[in-house]
Amino acid sequence: MIHLFLRDVGLSVRSGGGFGLALIFFLIVVTLIPFALGPDQSALAVVAPGVLWLGALLACLLSLDRIFGLDFEDGTLDLLATSPLPQEAVYIAKAAAHWLTTGLPLALAAPVLGVLLNLDFEIGKILGLSLLLGTPALSLIGAFGASLTLGVKRGGLLLSLLVLPLYVPSLIFGAQAVRLAGQGLAYDGALVLLSAISLGAAAILPFASGAALRINLR
Amino acid sequence: MMPDLGKYALEVNSSYVLSLLALAVIIGLYAKRSRAVKRDLAAMEAVHDA
Amino acid sequence: MNNRSIAPKFWDRFWRLANPKVFMGWSGRALPWAAAAAGLSLCSGLIWGYFFTPDDIRQGSTVKIIYLHVPAALMAINGYLLMFVGALVWLIRRQHVSVLAAKAAAPVGMVMTLIALATGAIWGQPMWGTYWVWDPRLTSFLILFLFYVGYIALWAAIEDEDTAADLTSVLAIVGAVFAMLSRYAVLFWNQGLHQGTTVTMADGAQQDNISNVFFQPLLLSMAGFGLLFLTLLLIGTRTEVRSRRLKVLQARERME
């Protein structure tokens, strides 16, 4: 399982697949926002938490079909199915690798990019923290969606359709935490709920996803 | 016979028209597909039994 | 039929109803009755509501929208509940009829959600001065609609029937968990914005202690929507059972 995890991380870093791409996409979204909304500094600061969360979410979405896609095509997943490793563990390793290569870099980059949108760096740090706590849920849910749409040809759009409604709670709590912090209010409640979703997803989704993988590899 | 709906006549009537239209569409689709599948199956079974 | 068992247990009998052949028998007999009852109660409920109820003091004639809005919303939620149960039964007991019923329920539930959203928007315009507010209830319904669309799209995307049944069932169950979660998340989110100022329709009805004049036709049209849902569910499930049999026969023909 650890080997699988390390292999996935190594692959995505070396092949320049998901790793850099998500970050660059995030940067582009943040760059485009002022062009769409106008360069008004105070207006930008108001929308910054939501925009940064949405940008991170979309960047995460972009790399989802890579989680299983290539391994399904070249038969690696079938090979893994015959190994003693349960499908649940395959899913956890894949989701963890996805998080490490997209969620974590996004969380680290967010405070810096927040400065571009006139977001105070202190609040930017809270944004980074909220992404740190929230992106595991995004990776876990995304990998679940990817395991559902494994056998579907050109399933990218379908994958987004399935996954986006499931992202709603995380998005709400994450952006809410940053917004509350920006208003100088207590934001720890939202962060706790955000982590609760990530932990809950980590507890439930491996079984759902393991089942989906087994069904697809039947 | 028609009730006096006052100034909200448009709102009330359009909701009724839209909703009944939506129901009619879904009923129609279900009836149509039901008939098509029933016919195909009957044809197929006739061939098999023969 | 089963002479050997002296007292067939209730559950044995119950699950027998889900045997495709047995199901086609009893659903075929029940269908005309369900359809007639649906037509009767829906027509009488809506006609009663539209023609023979007084206007509300505050809301004027827009109160008449309630006879569409509330039953549709009710069936939208019950439809998803039914899909959840159907998916669960399929995954545990491998009863084909149950998953086919879930498949047949999805489009009807989606249309119900659409009706609830559309009538709500039309009602919201004169009452709140806007077609749409990001109110917890409205937002939850929009998310519910997305869940329906995703479920139907996944069914359509997967070719193998049994694989599709399994995967959509997993989705329906995870979706139900997240639908509940979204419901509470959305409450939290809006409280932070509006401090719960928006008065939703059902809350208003409770405060006014909705009177019998409005309640009786509402009950009737709720029954009508429920029976209509049942009728469409029976038609749809019967169609799916037949369609499955058709595919089996077609596959056999190709083999020969």
Q: Is the pLDDT of residue C6 over 70?
A: no
Read off the DSSP letter of residue C130: S
Side chain identity at residue C93, one-letter code: R
> Is residue C246 included in any domain, yes or no?
yes
In this predicted structure, what is the pLDDT of residue B4?
A: 66
For C171-225, the DSSP string reads HHHHHHHHHHHHHHHHHHHHHHHHTT-PPPHHHHHHHHT--HHHHHHHHHHHHHH
Across chain C, mean pLDDT equals: 81
Measured between its terminal Cα atoms, the distance across chain B in Å is: 59
Of A2, A13, A190, A168, which is closest to residue A104 (Cα–Cα)?
A13
Interface contact C149-A168, CB threshold 8 A: no
With beta carbons under 8 A apart, name residues in chain C contacting A212: 166-167, 170
Would you tell me how many other CB atoms lie within 10 Å of the CB of residue A46?
Answer: 16
Kindly report, residue by residue over B40-50, the tens digit of the pLDDT. 988 888 887 76
Q: Is the pLDDT of residue C38 over 50?
A: yes
Reported confidence tier of residue C86, pLDDT bands at 50, 70, 90: very high
Domain limits at C32? 28-255
Q: A112 CA to chain C: closest CA distance, Å?
A: 26
With beta carbons under 8 A apart, name residues in chain A contacting C188: 172-173, 176, 190, 193
Radius of gyration of chain C (CA): 21
The model's pTM is: 0.84
Measured between its terminal Cα atoms, the distance across chain A in Å is: 21
| B18: nearest CB among C108, C118, C232 | C118
Interface contact B14-C122, CB threshold 8 A: yes
Query: Structurally, how many domains does chain C consist of?
Result: 1
HSE of B24 in the Cβ direction (CA atoms, 13 Å)? 6
Q: What is the mean pLDDT of residues C146-162?
A: 89
Contact map slice: B 1-50 vs C, CB within 8 A: 1-9, 11-12, 14-16, 18-19, 22-23, 25-27, 29-31, 33-34, 37-38, 40-41, 44-45, 48
Q: What is the mean pLDDT of residues B6-29?
A: 86
With beta carbons under 8 A apart, name residues in chain C contacting A218: 163
Which tokens is C44 given?
A: 């009488």
Are A51 and A30 in contact by the 8 Å Cβ rule? The answer is yes
| B12: nearest CB among C65, C235, C236 | C65
The distance from CA A138 to its chain's CA centroid, rounded to whole angstroms, is: 4
Are A72 and A99 in contact by the 8 Å Cβ rule? The answer is no
Of A7, A148, A167, which is closest to residue A76 (Cα–Cα)?
A7
Best mutation target among B8, B27, B38 (most C Cβ atoms within 10 Å) is B8
Query: Any chain A CB within 8 A of the CB of C193?
Result: no
With beta carbons under 8 A apart, name residues in chain B contacting C60: 6-8
Backbone angles phi, psi at A17, to 5 degrees: -75, -100
Residues 6+ apart with CB under 8 A from A52: A30, A110, A113, A114, A117, A119, A127, A178
Which tokens is A134 given?
A: 């929230």
Interface contact A158-C146, CB threshold 8 A: no
The strand pairing partners of C60, in sequence order, are C56
Of A188, A86, A66, A214, which is closest to residue A130 (Cα–Cα)?
A188
CA distance C48 to C218: 9
> Is residue C12 included in any domain, yes or no?
no
Nearest chain A residue to C145, by CA: A165
In this predicted structure, what is the pLDDT of residue C238?
A: 92
For Cα atoms C154, C28, C159, give the angle at the middle one, nearest 5 degrees: 20
Kindly report, residue by residue over C207-240, the tens digit of the pLDDT. 444 566 777 888 888 899 999 999 999 999 999 9
* Neighbour subunits, B (≥3 Cβ pairs < 8 A): C
Q: Is the pLDDT of residue C161 over 70?
A: yes
CA distance C98 to A214: 21
In this predicted structure, what is the pLDDT of residue A19?
A: 64
Are A21 and A63 in contact by the 8 Å Cβ rule? The answer is yes
Side chain identity at residue C99, one-letter code: V
Higher pLDDT pick, C64 / A6: C64
Higher pLDDT pick, A6 / C142: C142
Q: Percentage of chain C surpassing pLDDT 70? A: 86
Are C99 and B43 in contact by the 8 Å Cβ rule? The answer is no
> Is residue C22 included in any domain, yes or no?
no
**Alpha-carbon distances, residue C228 vs C40, C105, C224, C252 (angstroms):** 10, 12, 6, 36
Across chain A, mean pLDDT equals: 83
Nearest chain C residue to A164, by CA: C146
The distance from CA C162 to its chain's CA centroid, rounded to whole angstroms, is: 23
Lowest-pLDDT range of C44-58, C82-96, C155-169, C181-195: C181-195
With beta carbons under 8 A apart, name residues in chain C contacting A169: 178, 181-182, 185
Interface contact B30-C239, CB threshold 8 A: yes
Q: C170 CA to chain A: closest CA distance, Å?
A: 6
